Amino acid sequence: MNEFELIRTYFARQPVTRDDVRLGIGDDAAVLAPPPGHELVVTTDLLVSGVHFLPDVDPATLGHKALAVNLSDLAAMGAEPAWFLLNIALPTADDKWLTGFCDGLFALARRYNMQLVGGDTARGSLAIAIEAHGFVSPGQALIRAGAKPGDRIFVTGALGDAGLALRHRQGRLKLSAAELPSCVERMDRPQPRVEEGLALRGIASSAIDISDGLVADLGHILERSSVGAKLDLGRLPLSAAYRAHL
């Protein structure tokens, strides 16, 4: 199967068609029409087999995660998701794997009305790069440099469960049968906080995706905003599973 057959068979069948996509998959480039009076927010993430995911990962899970990590960046900027590009290197064009990958990818794309508008494919070690685009009104993007003295720090959702799942898979700790499913779900199928990001426009002074950890990512806000912070560790939202393994 050549590149064009692969695109027609698996990626051109996507479920979302947006009015602001003048020309999508099938040409040398996409033609897109951002809504008047909006700014374009663009982000990209690269996932490499053996580095960002295990080689035997479920393909539907990987499809979800590849888009979710980009949606999480759009959410952190308060952007409304719109379009995405997919670049993927594959060792072989396996029908079962590609069907599963597209199922996971397009299920999340449908949820946020995102249209796949192009990309590229190549033969090689498995790697996936998605570039996601979203919209914000002028001056409404949530940025790292906006924090001010006196601001409060908030997070969405319980922290640390994905890390527990990773340590379990690495054999560094043992999760119980009751703890494992929810922790694995947090690692394999992270849920981007798009709705929260949109709701916080005009309210939050600064925001960031904390997939690299609360302390590390909060540090980026503090550096860019030239402020300090105090955390009350006892008030961090932690699951029962995490507290059991502290």
pLDDT in tens, 79-111: 999 999 999 999 998 999 999 999 999 999 999
Q: Residue 144: is it exposed, middle or buried by C-beta count within 10 angstroms (0-12/13-18/19+)?
A: middle
What is the band of 56 on the pLDDT scale with cuts at 50, 70, 90?
confident
Residue 21 phi/psi, 5-degree rounding, is -100, 105
21 pLDDT above the threshold of 80: yes
Q: Residue 201: is it exposed, middle or buried by C-beta count within 10 angstroms (0-12/13-18/19+)?
A: middle
- Tell me if 177 sits within 8 A of 169, measured CB to CB: no
- What is the structure's pLDDT at 3? 79
Rounded to whole angstroms, the Cα distance separating 90 from 111 reads: 26
Q: Who has greater pLDDT, 83 or 49? A: 83
- Tell me if 210 sits within 8 A of 217, measured CB to CB: yes
Please list the residues that pair with 87 across neighbouring strands. 120, 129
Could you give the 3-state DSSP secondary structure of residue 172?
A: coil
- 3-state helix vs strand vs coil in the chain, percent to 5: 35, 20, 45
Give the number of other Cβ atoms within 10 Å of residue 43's Cβ.
Answer: 20
224 pLDDT above the threshold of 80: yes
- What is the structure's pLDDT at 14? 85
The region of weakest confidence among 73-77, 106-110, 155-159 is: 155-159
* Ramachandran region, residue 117 (left: φ > 0; alpha: ψ -120 to 50; beta: rest): alpha
Rounded to whole angstroms, the Cα distance separating 170 from 63 reads: 22
Average pLDDT across the chain, whole number: 94
CA dihedral in degrees (87, 92, 96, 98; nearest 10)? 10
Rounded to whole angstroms, the Cα distance separating 75 from 67 reads: 12
2 pLDDT above the threshold of 90: no
Mean pLDDT computed over 24-45: 95
The share of the chain scoring above pLDDT 90, in percent, equals 83
Residue for token pair 């897109």: 32
What is the band of 4 on the pLDDT scale with cuts at 50, 70, 90?
confident
Residue for token pair 């059991």: 244
Convert 67-91 to b/e letters by CB count within 10 Å (16 or more is b). Answer: bbbbbbbbbbbbbbbbbbbbbbbbe
191 pLDDT above the threshold of 90: yes
120 pLDDT above the threshold of 80: yes
Rounded to whole angstroms, the Cα distance separating 203 from 240 reads: 30
- pLDDT tens sequence across 194-216: 999 999 999 999 999 998 899 99
Convert 18-35 to b/e letters by CB count within 10 Å (16 or more is b). Answer: eeebeebbeeeebebeee
